[in-house]
């Protein structure tokens, strides 16, 4: 079982050199924080300590022990989780990105994203608890009443109370139009009756209260998604002075037995088994679906970061094992000492694939976080609108592409370990098992791809994607002026990738058959991810070569340059194959009749 050490050097490189933290630091919203490289370094160092010392040691133990339901005390987390959570909130980490008006630290999303990566690398099961709270905070902050904000947000931001998202039901799955949970009006509140499934951290004893956000239908609501409303349903009712009142009629019926994330209780929640759970309407009736997407987009981005985070943890474990495991002699050598497996070319191939894809995912996620900061806080409304369009375009890519890659990287981690990777004691199995849920929850890979190809592109007839491609072309021009064989190789591969993405985009926009578009949408989304990742790796290579020319940190920057070239030579060529699938592969996907399966 390996330890976890946050890759703070690479994080700082991406934050400062690729995301351009200086552009975020000058925004008026962050003037009081005196944000600069020193703040970034200080926050990352402290977060890395907490991740390494308090969260990571619980990861394997929590996987073994899991959670259980006590007949009187409810859901009991694994030993040590409650103590770690107290350290987490005492350090102010739960509110690092929340506004200061609600007790948060108000730091940029760019910094928050780096800490999110650390929490999920160290202990994904643990990190899911504050992740869901963050989504609930965003929903209440954006559409809750002033009274609701004052009553709930300070303690949710501090982490004294946690939050959940109660969306789907057993008969509904991803089709929320089939939600049946009822909300019966009663004075200034509603009585909620129904059952929700797959509720992450739906119940636990780590905090005094849990604030559930619940989708339900009022008696006169129209059918389908237009009849869904959103309600606050506290585990314990909250008095007007903020003190806790009686236990509400909501409880966990059971916890699911899952492939991974064993220490995160995934609950079946029952509302209204007795007199009905008291709930409070958020915003307007029948607007719940729109409000849900506030929570959903917050969560989707962070789940994409989970793909990166698990990939990083799996890479660290595989790297250390490869440096330690002695097996075989170098290629072509028949006698002499045996060497560690990191000397073997195929192990190098796997480690480089893991490392390169992790760095590409990190760069794209952090750059997107920068766009979030500009979309939220730039003083110019036109800039905010443009930046939000970029965020909206990239979130399904971050979520879908990064989680698919996270599984691939975790699987390679098992392979690097060989037979020991199939043995639970090494921890490699857990990373693969934990990563598998990320492509499913908060919208499957197919749902992300449908959102990208079927909605985000068509909203502005591809204008936002064209602007993105134009920025990539500008990077190509910069690379053309830079000397060196590495950058020339990277430029050639990136150029082919850009052409493939442009051609695939044109095909999607021109196609008038929605079934044909949906059939190849995952290929299009993955193509977008690979090319966007390659673009960021090319930018990283350009910076690295400049730093090498000045003699700055040659070991780090040489590795950055070589890794970018590997990505260009071994990962980016996938774009061409995916283009062919987009343009020609839809017919065979839909060709068989139902009986032929």
Crossing angle for the helix pair 428-435 and 288-324, to the nearest 10 degrees = 160
Q: What are the respective helix, strand and coil percentages of the chain, to the nearest 5?
A: 65, 10, 25
Return the DSSP state at 426. G
Residue 376 and residue 29: Cα distance in Å, rounded? 9
Per-residue burial over 184-196, b if 16 or more Cβ lie within 10 Å, else e, is eeeeebbbbbbbb
Residue 430 and residue 411: Cα distance in Å, rounded? 10
Among the residues of 91-184, which ranges form H helices? Answer: 109-143, 146-158
Within 8 A by CB and 6+ apart from 596, the residues are: none
Which residues are 268's β-sheet partners?
254
Identify whether 425 is a catalytic site residue. Answer: no
Q: How would you classify the pairing of strands 161-166 and 209-216?
A: parallel
Residue 340: closest CA among 355, 351, 332, 329: 329
**Pair of tokens at residue 64:** 């073994």
Is the separation of the CB atoms in 129 and 116 below 8 Å?
no
Residue 532: closest CA among 375, 407, 363: 363
Residue 312: closest CA among 530, 540, 2: 2
Cα dist from 463 to 373, 389, 391, 498, whole Å? 21, 10, 14, 16
Residue 422 and residue 438: Cα distance in Å, rounded? 21
Count CB-CB contacts under 10 A for residue 217. Answer: 20
Which residues are 185's β-sheet partners?
190
Task: Tell me the three state secondary structure of residue 246.
Answer: strand
Cα dist from 281 to 38, 43, 215, 229, 287, whole Å? 43, 37, 10, 7, 10
Residue 389 and residue 536: Cα distance in Å, rounded? 19
Task: Tell me the three state secondary structure of residue 270.
Answer: strand
H or E element that contains 233: strand 229-234
CA angle 211, 216, 219 (to 5 degrees): 135
Measured in residues, the chain has a length of 597
Residue 116: closest CA among 106, 126, 104: 126
Compute φ and ψ for 252, nearest 5 degrees: -80, 125
Residue for token pair 């000492």: 337
Residue 112 and residue 128: Cα distance in Å, rounded? 15
Is the separation of the CB atoms in 548 and 469 below 8 Å?
no
Check 442, 473, 552, 558 and give the catalytic one: 442
As annotated, the active-site residues are 442
């Amino acid at each position: 079982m390996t330890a976890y050490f946050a890759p703070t050097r690479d994080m700082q490189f991406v934050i400062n050199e690729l995301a351009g933290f200086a552009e975020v630091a000058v925004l008026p919203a962050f003037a009081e924080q005196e944000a600069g490289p020193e703040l970034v370094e200080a926050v990352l160092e402290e977060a890395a300590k907490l991740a390494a010392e308090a969260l990571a040691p619980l990861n394997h133990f929590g996987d073994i022990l899991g959670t259980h339901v006590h007949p009187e005390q409810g859901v009991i987390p694994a030993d040590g989780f409650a103590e770690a959570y107290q350290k987490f909130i005492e350090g102010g980490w739960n509110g690092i990105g929340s506004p200061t008006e609600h007790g948060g630290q108000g730091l940029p999303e760019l910094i928050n994203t780096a800490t999110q990566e650390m929490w999920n690398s160290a202990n994904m099961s643990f990190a899911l608890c504050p992740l869901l709270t963050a989504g609930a905070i965003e929903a209440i902050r954006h559409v809750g009443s002033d009274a609701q904000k004052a009553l709930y947000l300070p303690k949710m931001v501090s982490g004294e109370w946690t939050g959940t998202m109660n969306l789907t039901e057993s008969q509904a799955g991803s089709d929320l139009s089939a939600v049946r949970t009822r909300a019966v009006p009663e004075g200034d509140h509603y009585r909620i009756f129904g059952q929700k499934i797959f509720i992450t951290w739906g119940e636990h004893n780590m905090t005094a209260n849990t604030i559930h956000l619940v989708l339900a239908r009022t008696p006169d609501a129209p059918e389908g998604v237009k009849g869904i409303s959103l309600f606050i349903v506290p585990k314990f009712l909250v008095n007007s002075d903020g003190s806790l009142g009686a236990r509400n009629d909501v409880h966990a019926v059971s916890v699911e037995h899952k492939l991974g994330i064993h220490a995160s209780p995934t609950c079946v929640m029952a509302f209204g088994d007795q007199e009905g759970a008291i709930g409070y309407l958020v915003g307007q009736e029948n607007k719940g679906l729109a409000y849900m997407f506030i929570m959903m987009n917050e969560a989707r981005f962070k789940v994409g970061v989970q793909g990166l985070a698990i990939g990083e943890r799996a890479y660290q474990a595989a790297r250390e094992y490869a440096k330690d495991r002695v097996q075989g002699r170098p290629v072509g050598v028949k006698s002499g000492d045996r060497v560690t497996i990191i000397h073997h070319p195929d192990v190098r191939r796997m480690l480089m694939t893991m490392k390169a894809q992790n760095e590409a995912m990190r760069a794209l996620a952090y750059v997107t976080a920068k766009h979030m900061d500009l979309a939220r806080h730039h003083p110019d409304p036109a800039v905010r609108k443009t930046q939000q369009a970029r965020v909206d375009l990239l979130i399904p890519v971050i979520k879908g592409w990064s989680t698919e890659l996270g599984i691939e990287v975790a699987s390679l981690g098992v392979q690097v370990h060989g037979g020991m990777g199939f043995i639970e004691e090494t921890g490699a199995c857990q990373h693969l098992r934990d990563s598998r849920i990320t492509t499913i929850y908060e919208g499957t890979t197919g749902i992300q791809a449908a959102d990208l190809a079927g909605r985000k592109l068509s909203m502005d007839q591809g204008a936002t994607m064209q602007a993105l491609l134009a920025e990539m072309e500008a990077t190509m021009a910069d690379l053309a002026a830079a000397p060196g064989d590495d950058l020339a190789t990277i430029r050639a591969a990136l150029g082919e990738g850009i052409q493939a993405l442009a051609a695939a985009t044109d095909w999607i926009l021109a196609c008038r058959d929605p079934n044909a578009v949906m059939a190849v949408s995952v290929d299009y989304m993955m193509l977008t991810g690979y090319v966007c990742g390659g673009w960021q790796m090319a930018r990283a290579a350009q910076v690295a070569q400049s730093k090498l020319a000045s003699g700055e940190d040659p070991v780090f920057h040489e590795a950055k340059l070589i890794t970018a070239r590997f990505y260009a030579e071994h990962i980016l060529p996938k774009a061409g194959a995916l283009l062919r699938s987009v343009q020609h592969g839809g017919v065979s996907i839909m060709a068989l009749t139902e009986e032929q399966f």
